[in-house]
Amino acid sequence: MQIRTGLGFDVHRLAEGETLWLGGVLIPHYKGTVAHSDGDVLIHAICDALLGALALGDIGSHFPDTDMAYKDVDSKILLSEVVKLVKERGWSISNVDSTISAQKPKLRPYIDDIRAKLADILEIDVDAVSVKATTTEKLGFEGEEIGISALASVLLLKA
Ligand code: MG
């Protein structure tokens, strides 16, 4: 049995009048992410964790933000593409853990929806998908609501 671990991190700026997608779920909030894609920081961090585990570069190298094909792209599609790359190489995803850092809104009510959505795209059980949320105690860009960040860690297995 071979084992690989990967980590991912992503940040987006927040602005009024933009949409806030997290883990493929639209979160009602007065601010959203500024991005070339739909700005889903959580999915982007998970993509980078999966790509990182296989040393396949990062999300920017696979889906360049200079490419108009990815303008406002649904990040769920990007994650599906990355999952395909993982499977093509004979790996399976053991589990995903993640943390979103945002001062607002309170994310607890959306966590189970996000986990279910991610589990569906990752094609693994929902109990292998962890999504946590934290504030940064009003410190830093997340705490000042200037931006939002996400960290993800994955474990891949190959028989
Ligand atoms: Mg991003």
Tens of pLDDT, residue by residue over 101-134, are 999 999 999 999 999 999 999 999 999 999 999 9
pTM of the model: 0.97
Ordered alpha helix ranges (H), the chain: 41-53, 59-62, 75-88, 111-122, 140-143
CA 61 to ligand 1 centroid distance, Å: 12
Note whether 37 and 72 are within 8 A (CB): yes
pLDDT band per the 50, 70, 90 thresholds, residue 29 = very high
Compute the C-alpha angle 14/39/23, nearest 5°: 110
Residue type for position 94: S
pLDDT at 72 over 90: no
- Residue 138 Cα to ligand 1 midpoint, Å, equals 22
Contacting residues for 116 by C-beta, under 8 A, at least 6 apart: 126
Per-residue pLDDT at 69: 81
